[in-house]
Structure 1
Amino acid sequence: MGLLKRKVRIGDALFDFTGDAGYLNSMGDTFEPSTLDMLSSMVARDSHVIDVGANIGFTAVALSNFCPDGWVAAVEPVPRTFALLEENVKAARATNVSCHNFALGAADGELVMQGNPNFLAGSFVADKFSIDDEYHFAERVPVYMLDAVFEQTGLRRLDAIKIDVEGFELDVFAGAKKTLSVFEPLVFMEMNHWCLSMFRRMTIPEFRERLLKIFPCVYAVQDAETRDLTDEKAAYHVAHEHLNHGRFFNLLVGFNRDIVDRALDRYLAKRSANALPNTHLSPHEAMALIERAEAAEQRARVFEHRASVLQNVVSEKEKLIWHLEAQLASAHG
């Protein structure tokens, strides 16, 4: 695994992050502004939050800063990723974050995680799909129901959840029924057709139906555009855009519509405030332009990394050619 260390901005502060080169090279100079706007809209200074699928720690560090008087429990099951999470939390001096090296699921036990060591953020639960090649590792990790380990996390209550576990979200919720019922937290989560289809054998319509059985309020969010997934026409639009145009990967869900709507209003206000100033663009057009710029910056980072790898390959081939030429010259000398 090639490691990289670089500074990334979260809010108004720069932090040193160490991570796998593939992921960090794809990251812009500022970590996902729209994600930061959503997380900061969901929490208060004293909120207690769990970050499920914390990866190397970007969202855990962000939540630590948004909730300085609260507590953040960061859960990451892959051991090599967890080591980076601990390192980055320590480097950020995030003393209100506890790190936990296990998976959350529908039952206690063990499961197999697979992933690419050069892009750890894409690691997935390999119980319904696995891949056997030289590029992916496979590791057995412990898995617990959140209901069973909640008291171990340091959380005294649960105001919000951030969850991104490559399609395994419904399994996590299945093991958290009591916790969800008692605290009714806001939840910011991913909806990813690729992960659901490949890793869970599930369609977007089935995912929506099962999610609505848990949460009465479900919004799909794409920058300044939001759609209420309890509405069939809105759900149709979101599924079409998601499957055909790669949009609406993020959901804001919850139990109390007033609380969810207030968080959504705060988020939209932040996104509007970040729109380009002094232009004739509508808010929607400005948000779309910002989104394209952020995506372009991330693609540029990927291309820079690929160019660096290619340059190394070319250099090695040039050395081989020089070596062969020297040998031929010596043989004919």
Structure 2
Amino acid sequence: MFYYSLLKKRNTSFGLSEKNGRITYETTHNNVSFFTNEALYPIIVDFDYYQHFYKVKTNDIVVDAGANCGHLSMLFSKLVGPNGKVFAIEPDKFNIQKIKNNIDLNNDLPENILIEDILFWNKNGEIDFYEAGTVGSSAIWIPDAQHCVKKQSVTIDDWVESHKLERLDFIKMDIEGAEIEALEGCKKI
């Protein structure tokens, strides 16, 4: 903890806490704090990186595609507030459970995170997906058939229409090499 505190970014702090009988990690960045089951030291740079050109703000509608463990979803949740929405798009069932576990650690989160077990693609249907419970889960790279499952794919345009969204203010997309395919399905919005 001492080492990471020495090398931390400005406006960032880390701490340890006990929640539900387990040691958890507390991260504060730009006055936004939350608890996670994973240490965020190596990924704290992502908090600003993804918001380089657009800063998420109150009442925004945000998509966190490739939500992984939900760290950015929780940050966005606090930034958009109770009248905003955060759609955590994550096709890996193991990561979805991690998102839920992290959300459960934070009693002060607005109830505005909606987790969806789908993946964005250039067409609607089912595609092969490597479900490994890591950041390496992918529809592009499938190293073995043992962890390959069929997953529902949807274009962003059709997804927006099915949710009757009039706008999307911010899309964060880190979907392990499938960004081009997802953007091909995002022509209207």
TM interval, shorter chain, is: 0.7 to 0.9
Residue of structure 1 equivalent to 2:12:
none
Residue of structure 1 equivalent to 2:168:
158
Higher relative contact order (CA 8 A, sep 6+): 2
Is 1:100 the counterpart of 2:116? The answer is yes
**What is the aligned length?**
163
**How many angstroms does 1:151 deviate by?**
4.1
Q: Is the 8 A contact 2:94 2:132 kept in 1?
A: no
Q: Distance in 2 between matches of 1:31 and 1:116?
A: 20
Is 1:167 the counterpart of 2:183? The answer is no
Q: Distance in 1 between matches of 2:102 and 2:165?
A: 21
SS at match of 2:135: strand
Q: Distance in 1 between matches of 2:153 and 2:74?
A: 24
> Given residue 158 of structure 2, which amino acid in structure 1 is its aligned partner?
A
Q: Deviations over 1:101-134 (max 9, x none)?
A: 11110001111221544xx1121114xx43228x
Residue of structure 1 equivalent to 2:105:
91
Which stretches in structure 1 are left out of the alignment for 5+ residues?
Answer: 19-23, 180-333
Q: Deviations over 1:225-245 (max 9, x none)?
A: xxxxxxxxxxxxxxxxxxxxx
**How many angstroms does 1:67 deviate by?**
1.2
> Given residue 24 of structure 2, which amino acid in structure 1 is its aligned partner?
R
The alignment-based identity, stated in percent, is: 22
> Given residue 66 of structure 1, which amino acid in structure 2 is its aligned partner?
L
The structure with more helix, counted as a fraction of residues: 1
Q: Name which of 128, 149, 161 aligns with 1:112.
A: 128
The structure with more strand, counted as a fraction of residues: 2
> Given residue 128 of structure 2, which amino acid in structure 1 is its aligned partner?
V
Q: Deviations over 1:195-248 (max 9, x none)?
A: xxxxxxxxxxxxxxxxxxxxxxxxxxxxxxxxxxxxxxxxxxxxxxxxxxxxxx
TM-score by length of 2: 0.73
Q: In structure 2, do the counterparts of structure 1 residues 176 and 47 end up closer, same or farther at CA, with 3 Å as the change threshold?
A: same
Q: Name which of 138, 155, 160 aligns with 2:148.
A: 138
Which stretches in structure 2 are left out of the alignment for 5+ residues?
Answer: 1-21
Residue of structure 1 equivalent to 2:55:
42
Q: Is the 8 A contact 1:71 1:155 kept in 2?
A: no
Q: Distance in 1 between matches of 2:122 and 2:32?
A: 37
